[in-house]
Structure 1
Amino acid sequence: MTLQLTVPNMACDACAKNITNAIKTLDEQATVTADPKTKLVNIETETAEASVRDALEKAGYPPAA
């Protein structure tokens, strides 16, 4: 499944790395591209979207609705 989420409080490369790590804890095989400039996170994963959103929220990076 491919997801594209907007994460408004992703401000820097460290934020992008934290977001990537949060997703990788759910699915080690996930492909994650996080761009602080556009605030977009593109994810290729087998994990349900609700679980990805929950993991990002717990990591302090809640995606926009």
Structure 2
Amino acid sequence: MEFYVPTLDSSEASEKLKETILTSEPNAKVNIDLDNKKVTIESKASAETFKQLIVASGNKLD
């Protein structure tokens, strides 16, 4: 699943988001494309789970 996260504006923000996701879903494969502000996640968890984690980490979804 892929999410567009327009608030990702630094490598620190992307690392924080990745840590938040992996804390909740340690088996997820997370790839963050900072230039395009895209987060790609491979996991058995639902998209809604990751939407909530992205928002909880202080980011916004588009």
Unaligned runs of 5+ in 1: none
CA RMSD of aligned residues (A): 0.9
Runs of 4+ in 1 over 2 A off after TM superposition: none
Query: Contact 1:27–1:46 (CA<8 Å) still a contact in 2?
Result: no
Match of 1:62, as an amino acid?
A: K
Q: Provide the rounded CA distance (Å) in 2 between the counterparts of 1:29 and 1:62.
A: 23
TM-score, length-scaled by structure 2: 0.90
Q: Distance in 2 between matches of 1:50 and 1:43?
A: 12
Unaligned regions of 5+ residues in structure 2, if any? none
Residue 27 of structure 1 pairs with residue 25 of structure 2: yes
Superposition pairs of residues 8-47 of structure 1, within 5 angstroms: 8-47=6-45
The number of aligned residues is 62
Q: In structure 1, give the amino acid aligned to 2:50.
A: V
TM-score normalised over the length of structure 1? 0.86
CA contact (8 A) 1:19 1:34 kept: no
Q: Which SS does the other structure have where 1:5 is aligned?
A: strand
User: What displacement does 1:62 show?
Assistant: 2.2
SS of alignment partner, residue 24 of structure 1: helix
